[in-house]
Amino acid sequence: MYKRRRTNRFGSLTEPRTRIEHEDLPGTGTSKFNKKIYKLLPQHAEKVEHEVQNVMKEMQLKALHNNVPPLRTGGILLTDNTLSSYEKHYDSLFFFFADIQEYESLIMLRRKALEYFPAMNPSSIILHHK
């Protein structure tokens, strides 16, 4: 591909900038719109689901049986843009909590509704934002 020659503000020629390739973590990727994609590997997803089920049994949490669609936003009406933005952040948190094995915090991020949700661990959320 032809690269255009660049000039600085004084008009002298400079070399074209080189692109820096960033390596993604295993299980993550970048879409063509430069958006992060978080997806667990199938083996890891099965292990995480099994551990979350164990934690739910220990805490004696019950499923909520109603006709509410499985949205992580609680059924609030949102625009498509806002919903996709929220889902991106939920996926990022889910991927991070699964990676550090914080299964109690993962319960809230599941798509299946429960009667009671335990709170997320604040120290884990702080780790995610660092």
What pLDDT score does 41 carry? Answer: 82
Q: Name the token pair of 95.
A: 């991927």
Query: What pLDDT does 15 receive?
Result: 61
**Per-residue b/e over 27-58, b at no fewer than 16 CB within 10 Å?**
eeeeeeeeeeebebeeeeeeebeeebeeebee
Question: How far apart are the two ends of the chain, measured CA to CA in Å?
Answer: 38
pLDDT, residue 54, reads: 93
Cβ atoms of 76 and 69 within 8 Å: the answer is: no
Q: Digits of tens for pLDDT over the chain (130 positions)?
A: 555 555 555 666 666 555 545 455 555 565 555 566 677 888 888 999 999 999 989 998 887 776 555 667 766 778 888 888 888 888 888 888 998 989 998 888 887 777 788 888 899 888 888 7
- The DSSP letter of residue 34 is S
- Specify the pTM: 0.65
CA 11 to chain centre: 45
